[in-house]
Amino acid sequence: MLLSFQGVRKTFGFFAALDDVTARVEGRAIGLLGPNGAGKTTLMKICLGLLAPDAGDATVLGLDVRTQAREIRMRLGYAAEGAGRIPGLSGLESVAYAGELCGLRRADALRRAHEMLDLVGLDESRHRGVEAYSTGMHQRIKVAMALVHDPALVLLDEPTTGLDPESRDALLDLIVRLRDGDGPAVLLSTHLLHDVERTCDACVIMQSGRVRFAGPLADLQVARLRTFDLRTRGPAAPLAAWLGERGCGITHGRRDDALTVRLPESAEPGLIWAGAAASGCALWHLEAQSASLEEAFLEAIGPNP
């Protein structure tokens, strides 16, 4: 199991950043989605052992965050959202230094740093001081520093913030390549749904310190596939009444032969056919609503309490 949380709670004063977080996450690339202040960064820091949970249990790569924090950090890479750089060092030195801090020998760290900088697309600028870097270059350096020691899981906190479209595209490509290749698993924290949709195979949706969804992306979108648009030959009122009695959500269209039906959790789409037969309405159009991640996300987080 990549990540597992059981009743994790973390408060800062009176503010509960995480409140009874329970989730089990598996996958090669996991999106950690949520609006600002949802608790994403706090959860990442708990994974790293940078923050201790007030209550609950958390494991990363099967290791306990309270007792095996150092072992976890040995196998984790982290690209923080904030500055997190050493002023005065060049890009190459920064990445090599990160490798050395993880136990690589100096020569190995330098060689590996060159590889990682090639990977993230920092060419000759790697020899310049990091203070002179643009925001996008900083993001790339942070990713290179997170990858330099070959971790089993890399945590990327808002890595596409401040990137131009081309660089963003390249970074998302990198995540896809890591996911599909031999690279580390990726936990991508972001509020950009498109980034998750493009790169991840699973996601955790958080809001107000709680997990609203955790699982494969496909599962999230399937939930949306329970809503259907239908048209009948003649008025749809009898069908609407029949389905309404069985717990379906009914929205009437502008025309009297148009309906939007939302099936309850326990019902199968065959219920609509049964209703049409029972109410004597002939269906001539039936279509499941398209399931964009944005709609699914908004549905998962629900109204802000």
Partner 1 sequence: MIDRIFDIGYRRLETGARHRFAPWPIARTALLLAWRRRATKVGLLFCLGNIILFGGMIVVQVLMQRFDDQTMADAALAEAVFGTAQEVFSSFVQVQFMTCAVALAVIAAGFVADDRQAGAFELYFARPLTRMDYATGKVLATAAVPLAALVVPAFGLWFVAVGGTSAVHGKALWSLGPPTMATALCGALWLTGAVIGISALGEKARTVGAVFVAVLLGLSAIGDALPAAGFPQFGYFSPVRDLRTVADALLDVGPRSMGIAILHGGGPLNGSAWLSLLALVLQSALGFGALHWRLQREVVG
**Contact set with partner 1 (CB under 8 A):** 48-52, 69-71, 73-74, 76, 78, 80, 82-89, 93, 97-98, 100-106, 112, 115, 118-123, 145, 147, 149-150, 166-167, 170-171, 173-174, 177-178, 181-183
Least distance (Å) between residue 28 CB and partner 1: 13
Whether 203 and 30 have beta carbons less than 8 Å apart is answered as yes
**Minimum CB distance to partner 1 smaller for 20 or for 150:** 150
In whole angstroms, give the CA distance from residue 216 to residue 204.
9
Least distance (Å) between residue 3 CB and partner 1: 16
Least distance (Å) between residue 282 CB and partner 1: 55
In whole angstroms, give the CA distance from residue 185 to residue 103.
21
Whether 141 and 66 have beta carbons less than 8 Å apart is answered as no
**Minimum CB distance to partner 1 smaller for 173 or for 294:** 173
**Minimum CB distance to partner 1 smaller for 68 or for 221:** 68
Q: For the range 181-184, what are the long-range contacts, defined as Cβ-Cβ under 8 Å and sequence gap of 24 or more?
A: 183/147, 184/77, 184/147, 184/150, 184/151, 184/152, 184/153, 184/154
**Minimum CB distance to partner 1 smaller for 170 or for 225:** 170
Residue 269 has which token pair? 């789409």
Least distance (Å) between residue 87 CB and partner 1: 5
**C-alpha 262, offset from chain centre:** 26
**Minimum CB distance to partner 1 smaller for 137 or for 211:** 137
